[in-house]
Amino acid sequence: MSAMMAFKPFRLWPRSLGSRLFLILLAGLMLSQGLTFTAQFLERHMTAKTVMLNTLENDVATSIAILDRLPAAERPDWLDRLDRGTYRYELNAGLPGIDTLSDQSAGIAAKIREAVDPRFPIEFQSIPGDGKRLQAHLTLSDSNPLTIDVNPAPIMPLAQWLPYVLVAQLILLILCTWFAVRQVIRPLVNFANAADALDPNRNTPRLSETGPSEVAYAATAFNAMRDRIAHYLEERVEILAAISHDLQTPITRMKLRAEIAEDSVEKEKLVQDLAEIERLVHEGVAYARSAHGNSEKSSRIDIGSFIESLAYDYQDVGKAVTVVEKIDGAIVTRPHALRRILTNLIDNALKFGGSAEIYVERDHKGVVSIKVLDRGSGIPEDQLDAVMQPFFRLEQSRNRGTGGTGLGLAIAQQLALAIGGSLKLRNREGGGLCAEISIH
């Protein structure tokens, strides 16, 4: 329990890199701005205090000298002229006070004492109830009392416009931080999207090689890696095609030799084995080439007529293939690849269900869905994805007649991706399988 509570605060830390960089940069900039503002505030505070005390010293010395030289009757007329707001002069003994002075009052008293001529005895008292108010009592040359009433204001009060400036600086910091983080994160997002969409078989746009030198170099390296992968896939197809071509001749010779041999059980088995080898070679090459289904050019076809033609081909040879629902209209696709996909799906439906039903629909987004349904035994839910893998067979016997090569659905899926579509399998209620291909 204590361990869980110890890790609980870390849940507040954002998961995305962009949010973390944003918070780190913003916190650092705000801390730096705060330290700079504090240093400037203290420096200006000290400077203003020094200037005020020096000004106070010079002004008090001048004011006392003026009042001392003026006739007593004229002195009241000068009091308003000598008033400085934070301190003023009174021609009386002042208010009763105490001798204890605060640190600030002691500093002001020291400056006033330095300014006053030694021939004028001076005393300082704090006014009770206000620790900042100070009065200096002295006697002029004609024995008249003079009081300097000092009521210092804050040395450097905050200006009214300063909070608005601070808010504007904060907004500017947030915007600049967001822009900087966006410039850093955007290439990573582009790389992640490009890596997620990496498919040499599709004509996807290449990653832009513009921007900062590091980003451009990484994009160039990524595009080069993509080209190498595509080249390796092309080599794989060429190798399989070459193997298929080279195997055709010996397989044909072996079949001819088997045909002229005397009839026997071994002859029939040999002919069957050679037929299975030939079929496996053809299916393997078909799967390799299905990854490069984009070699066929797209064309506009009438989807309703296309499906009916495919169903008629099966019906002509006595297969139970029916078109239950269809749509009219044209779509742009690769017809040979689409025919191969549907042929593989219909063959599976006939093989495991005995019949096939075809439904063609179009949704509100314009996506065309072609469903091939059967009433076979279906596929276990935990193996619906596995059957899309090459050479995977639900029927685990080594009999190709019952289990097949395990490439039919793999080829269909590869071709579906190559034409920009998708293939999904799901079990039907009441038994059977639904294979749905969506064409965007």
Residue type, 364: H
Please identify, among 133, 166, 196, the residue that sits at the C-terminal boundary of a domain. 196
> Which of 196, 224, 243 is where one domain is finished?
196
CATH number for the domain including 327? Answer: 3.30.565.10
Number of domains in the chain: 2
Residue 218 lies in a domain: no
Q: Is residue 375 part of a domain?
A: yes
Helices 162-196 and 213-260 sit at what angle, rounded to 10 degrees? 20
Range of the domain at 23: 13-196
Residue 262 lies in a domain: no
d(C-alpha 410, C-alpha 341), whole Å: 10
Alpha helices in 138-212 (DSSP H): 162-196
The CA–CA distances, whole Å, from 407 to 199, 286, 288, 390 equal 20, 9, 10, 5
Q: What distance in Å separates the CA atoms of residue 41 and residue 50, rounded to the nearest whole number?
A: 14
Is 209 part of a structural domain of the chain? Answer: no
Q: Say if 23 falls within a structural domain.
A: yes
Question: Tell me, what's the pLDDT at 356?
Answer: 93
Decide if 328 is inside a domain: yes
Cα gap 65→117, rounded to integer Å: 9
Same domain, 25 and 140: yes
Token reading at 179: 């822009």
H or E segment at 415?
helix 408-418
Spell out the per-residue pLDDT of the chain, length 440, in tens: 444 444 444 456 677 777 788 888 888 888 888 888 788 777 776 776 666 666 777 778 888 888 888 888 888 888 888 887 778 888 888 888 787 777 777 888 887 887 787 788 888 888 877 657 888 888 888 888 888 888 776 555 566 777 788 888 888 888 888 888 888 888 888 888 888 777 665 667 788 888 788 888 888 888 888 888 878 877 776 777 677 777 777 887 887 887 787 777 787 888 888 877 777 777 766 666 665 555 678 889 998 899 999 999 999 998 999 999 988 888 888 888 889 889 989 998 998 888 999 999 988 888 899 999 998 888 888 888 888 877 676 654 434 444 556 677 888 888 888 888 889 999 988 888 999 999 87
CA-to-CA distance for 310 and 322, rounded, in angstroms? 10
On whether residue 425 sits in a domain, the answer given is yes
User: 310 and 191 in one domain?
Assistant: no
191 and 313, same domain (yes or no): no
Which residues touch 43 (CB under 8 Å, ≥6 apart)? none
In this structure, are residues 347 and 416 in contact, taking their beta carbons and an 8 Å threshold? Answer: no
Last residue of a domain, one of 163, 196, 229: 196
Q: Are 300 and 411 within one domain?
A: yes
pTM: 0.50
Q: What radius of gyration do the chain's Cα atoms show?
A: 47
> Can you give the pLDDT at residue 342?
92
Q: What is the DSSP letter of 406?
A: S
β-partners of residue 321 are 356
CB atoms within 10 A of CB 374: 25
- How far, in Å, CA of 60 to CA of 115, rounded? 6
Domain membership flag for residue 346 = yes
Adjacent-strand bridge partners of 322 = 357
CB neighbours of residue 19 within 10 Å: 13
Same domain, 143 and 17: yes
- The rounded distance, in Å, linking the Cα atoms of 220 and 199 is 17
Q: What are phi and psi of 165, to 5 degrees?
A: -65, -40
Angle between helices 213-260 and 265-290 (to 10 degrees): 160
